[in-house]
Amino acid sequence: MSNYSKYQEILRKIADVQYASAVLNWDQETYMPSKGAEYRAQQLSTLAGIAHELSTTKELGDLLELLKNDDSLGEKEKRNIKESLKKYIDNKKYSTEFVQQLSKTISEAFQAWQKAKAENNFLLYAPYLEKLVKLKRDECCILGFESHPYDALLDQYEPGAKTTDLEVLFADVRIQLVDFVKQIASKPQNQESFMFTHYNKQKQWDFGMDLLKQIGYDFDAGRQDVSSHPFTTNFCSEDVRVTTRINENDLSEMIWSCIHEGGHGLYEQGLPSSEYGLPSGEYISLGIHESQSRLWENNVGRGLPYWKANYKKLQEIFPDNLQNISVVDFYKAMNIVKPSLIRTSADELTYHFHVLIRFEIEKALIEGTIEVKDLPSYWNSKYKEYLGINVPSDTQGVLQDIHWSHGSFGYFPTYSLGSFYAAQFYAQAKKEIINLESEIENGNMSLLLNWLRSKVHIHGKFYSAEELCIQITGEKLNFKYFMDYAKNKYSKLYDL
């Protein structure tokens, strides 16, 4: 067996353990009975410890050092070794005890968050979150950083990203997007009340399944379930699962959850299965991952061509609700721009104010300028400052997101990065695919999916996010594409 084959064997064994843990996590968020929480936390902690021990053996380290100087390897193999060596060095910085403690604390925090959200009581969650924030601060010191401790956490989700880079990007959001939203706010608002009449849960579910099939989600390699916070998880590229959320008095929740998570699922299903366990079989960054969900949700799913393909069927399913509503009226309703409390149901423009708020809070938490006990009041003040709204409850405020209970500090900025990448990629797709939006209007999503498969999915981690963006569009991430898309679309919608 060659050294590279030995390396593949070790990484696939590590992947087996990590994906077994992922199955337990998926079950915890979908079907696990509440009494199973304590032992589930223990099981996940044990598996995290085993995966860490396998990831930090001397055998793997020696093998990676040997392979990094092997000139017989191809470019893909060399990139795999480079990525794996970086990850190995980072993993060696952790003790098994720390990894197990972090995993156990996350499981406990998740259960506490669920209870606190259901009972609208942040105090039930706060002690667990305090433990988690302390561990994440410790983790920053373990990993090391040059300028800001938050950089260490960002790098886990968006490799190479720096706090200072995001501060510049969000300055563009403040300067350009805030002013544009103010222009929209000065215009008469479009009607959306019909979106909030009663829509049968099962009929919504069935329609959502059809939308997933239409964009190319493979149900022989995945499934959809219901969860309180929609998410996508995978155990290999041939077992990729999505969840949705259904509100019988808000049609939009199911539609956008299905299309958004479907976009994530398509990316995972498009990764090369032959590269299981290796960097070349993994997504590049969460910003790029989010670009895939945002492209389908916003650039396609919130577009008029998409609903010219799908609205007639929706009218047939819900005639009492929609028989007197035209496709253009429906299109206008789904693109209402106005401040709102909940990030996941926010419009595609004010959405970035929600992300900005979380970025500022996370940065402050990690640097220690605020503490967990300050979160509700700090959160509420930020919503008043950026969105001009009062937060009526913890459930609709500081408890609305699942991410902190997962320990996912550094994750939120990737949501905005993803939208900005999506706008840039979609602009390029329209240049390269003849009559793309006419094909979408005819219900043909395969041309776009195939383009994304060849441009993004197939490469695994061969490119960095920045390299991929240059490879596809000829330039680095440029906020101008998002603003051009927003101004072109919403100037027409609001007669600016």
Residue 240 β-bridge partners: 222, 234
304 located within any domain: yes
CB 7 within 8 A of CB 63: yes
| Nearest C-alpha neighbor of 373 from the set 202, 127, 34 | 127
CA 3 to chain centre: 35
Res 437: pLDDT? 97
Q: Are strands 239-244 and 222-226 parallel, antiparallel or unpaired?
A: parallel
Written as tens digits, the pLDDT of the chain (496 aa) is 899 999 999 999 999 999 999 999 999 888 899 899 889 989 998 999 999 999 999 999 999 999 999 999 999 999 999 999 999 999 999 998 999 999 999 989 999 999 999 999 999 999 999 999 999 999 999 999 989 999 999 999 999 999 999 999 999 898 899 889 989 999 999 999 999 999 999 999 999 999 999 999 999 999 999 987 899 999 999 999 999 999 999 999 999 999 999 999 999 999 999 999 999 999 999 999 999 999 999 999 999 999 999 999 999 999 999 999 999 999 999 999 999 999 988 999 999 999 999 999 999 999 999 999 999 999 999 999 999 999 999 999 999 999 999 999 999 999 999 999 999 999 999 999 999 999 999 999 999 999 999 999 999 999 999 999 999 999 999 999 999 999 999 999 999 8
Q: How far apart are CA 226 and CA 210, in angstroms?
A: 16
Judge residue 319's burial from the number of C-beta atoms within 10 Å of its C-beta, 0-12 exposed, 13-18 middle, 19 or more buried.
exposed
150 located within any domain: no
Do 104 and 184 lie in a common domain? no
Do 207 and 252 lie in a common domain? yes
Number of domains present in the structure of the chain: 2
402 located within any domain: yes
Do 89 and 182 lie in a common domain? no
Residue where a domain stops, chosen among 98, 113, 144: 144
414 located within any domain: yes
Amino acid of residue 106: I
149 located within any domain: no
Q: Are strands 222-226 and 232-236 parallel, antiparallel or unpaired?
A: unpaired
Do 419 and 313 lie in a common domain? yes
Res 412: pLDDT? 95
Encoding tokens for residue 207?
A: 């329609």
Do 79 and 182 lie in a common domain? no
Residue where a domain stops, chosen among 84, 109, 144: 144
Q: How far apart are CA 171 and CA 378, in angstroms?
A: 20
Do 271 and 339 lie in a common domain? yes
Report the predicted TM-score, pTM, of the whole model to 2 decimal places.
0.91
Residue 226 β-bridge partners: 244
Do 263 and 411 lie in a common domain? yes
Res 9: pLDDT? 97
Residue 247 β-bridge partners: 250
**425-463 CB burial, b ≥16 within 10 A, e <16:** bbbbbeeeeeebbebbbeeebebbbebbbebbbebbbbb
Do 131 and 183 lie in a common domain? no
CB 443 within 8 A of CB 449: no
Residue where a domain stops, chosen among 144, 175, 203: 144
Q: Which residues are catalytic?
A: 261
Res 138: pLDDT? 97
151 located within any domain: no
Give the list of residues 6+ apart from residue 412 with CB closer than 8 angstroms, or none.
355, 358, 359, 362, 403
At 312, which helix (H) or strand (E)?
A: helix 304-317
152 located within any domain: no
Res 459: pLDDT? 96
CATH at 298? 1.10.1370.30
Do 140 and 167 lie in a common domain? no
Do 136 and 190 lie in a common domain? no
Do 119 and 193 lie in a common domain? no
Where in the sequence is the domain holding 44, given as residue range(s)?
3-144
Do 226 and 188 lie in a common domain? yes
Q: How far apart are CA 178 and CA 483, in angstroms?
A: 11
Residue 225 β-bridge partners: 243
At 190, which helix (H) or strand (E)?
A: none
155 located within any domain: no
CA 81 to chain centre: 26
| Nearest C-alpha neighbor of 17 from the set 66, 54, 42 | 54
